[in-house]
Amino acid sequence: MRSMRRLGAIAVAMALPLTMTACGSSDDAKDGEVVGTVERGPEKEVRASDDGLRVVALGWSDGEIALDLGVKPIAIYDWQGHGEENKGVGPWATDAFGDTEPEVIENTGTTYNYEQIELLEPDVILNVRASADEEVFDRLSEIAPVASAPADTGDFAVDWRTQTEIIGQAIGKDDEAAAAIDETDAVIADLAAEHPEFVGKTFVYGAKFADAYSAYLEGDARFDVFASLGFVANPPVADLEAMGFFASVPAEKVSALDADVALLTTIGMPLSDLQNDPLISSLGVVKDQRALVLDETDEIVLGLGAGTPQSIALAVEKAVPLLADAAAKVG
């Protein structure tokens, strides 16, 4: 399966002599060589610097995908708080950096420090899974070619396959991007074939944050992965207010989370706040133990949140046995 092949590849890479220096270039392209293209607006060529391709990754998981495709970003915006110890990527991906130390940019929201980005002298900026802000795109484009989501994509709402393809094109790794997508799709397809009982069962991925709730929608890996396994969206979710990649679930409509099978977690609060929530505890899916109630630091939650080919493959392999137990309890 894909994740095992990836772990093997990482082990081989770690056994080889490392030639990268800290904060050095992320590719072996020659000075001025055309490496890739970005297509938003007039197509722009991406050319490497004299020390290789310098990639600054600002979008959610953009840097991790570039790394997975074989290019080490010189800087990563740390949306998910992985920290400098993990080099701004999920712990499953950190070893791929070897001795290279990227600059990890602290998450301060959707307003970037443009002067900081300029000083990094990027050859290309990855801002694919990000806010759909034209002013941000225009300002970043003054610094370097910018890879971004297709027009009319909602904030952070680009699906993982499209995100991977766009990044692959920008950094000259089209073939690697296609292979990564195919390998992860194969993992999901194999698991789906092993579990025909998933087909047609309703599913919801819900989260509690502050005093509110949400459910992830089609187009986000936190729903799409489960749809690929055969689950279908819980119909009441379609009637909720969509906010990009998720729907807001008001307290009076929390029953929308009561699907055949659910994955429930928190955002920025202890899991106990979810476990002790009387509205959540009243749901049949929770009472009948058909819900995966997971801490936000669980590798399944982190992997699906990252939404990269590598992290999805790892997360789905861990989730499927739990899903099978839950689905077996559906009446």
Tell me which CATH code domain 195-327 carries.
Answer: 3.40.50.1980
β-bridge pairing 212-216 and 202-209: antiparallel
- Residue 30 has a pLDDT of 60
- Residue 152 has a pLDDT of 87
Q: Among 170, 174, 163, which residue's Cα sits nearest to residue 47?
A: 170
CB-based contacts of 124, cutoff 8 Å, min separation 6: 35, 36, 38, 46, 53, 54, 55, 56, 144, 145, 146, 147, 170, 171
- Residue 214 has a pLDDT of 96
- Residue 50 has a pLDDT of 82
Given a cut of 50, the residues of the chain with pLDDT beneath it are 1-26
- Residue 28 has a pLDDT of 61
Indicate the CATH number of 2-182 among 3.40.50.1370, 3.20.20.70, 3.40.50.1980, 2.60.200.20: 3.40.50.1980
Q: What percent of the chain has pLDDT over 90?
A: 79
- Residue 13 has a pLDDT of 33
- CATH 3.40.50.1980 segments of the chain: 2-182, 195-327
DSSP assignment, residue 175? Answer: H
